[in-house]
Amino acid sequence: MQFEHYIGGAERVSTIQVNSGLHIVVLSVKVPNLKPSDIVMVQAQAELTNDLGFNVGVGRGLLRSPVGPDNAGAGTYTLPLAMDNVDPTMHHKVLNLATSDSGVTGDAYYNLVVYAVSSWGSGPLAVEPGYGTIRAAVIRP
């Protein structure tokens, strides 16, 4: 049995626009040469700040993509999208997600995808630099 560990780079964006309609890749890690019997465990963390003065729904999920982090619409959600509110009293929201995956052949990119919506208004949520990480551990039997 072999164990491999991959660490993604820094946060790819500095803001998430509320009501943009886009799912944004905040963090990404590439895991090469997967076989269907490999088990991939993914953990991602990022921090957002709401300075807008109104409630914002923040959605997130983990997306596996064969084509890299620049196309958030292509792939399979290995951890489905979920959302909760970040209100002005909370101000900061730490996103901490984890999942496992298997049955994949070839290279795979695991991406932390974030989106934001509000019926109160629009504007940017800050993605705090230096607080994010995405890691993949692979067990190869």
Domains recognised in the chain with CATH numbers: 2-140 (2.60.120.40)
Tell me the whole-structure pTM to 2 decimals: 0.94
Q: 91, 12, 13, 16: which is closest to 51 by C-alpha?
A: 91
> What would the pLDDT profile of 52-67 be if each residue is shown by its tens digit?
999 999 999 999 999 8
d(CA 100, CA 39): 7
Does residue 130 surpass a pLDDT of 80? yes
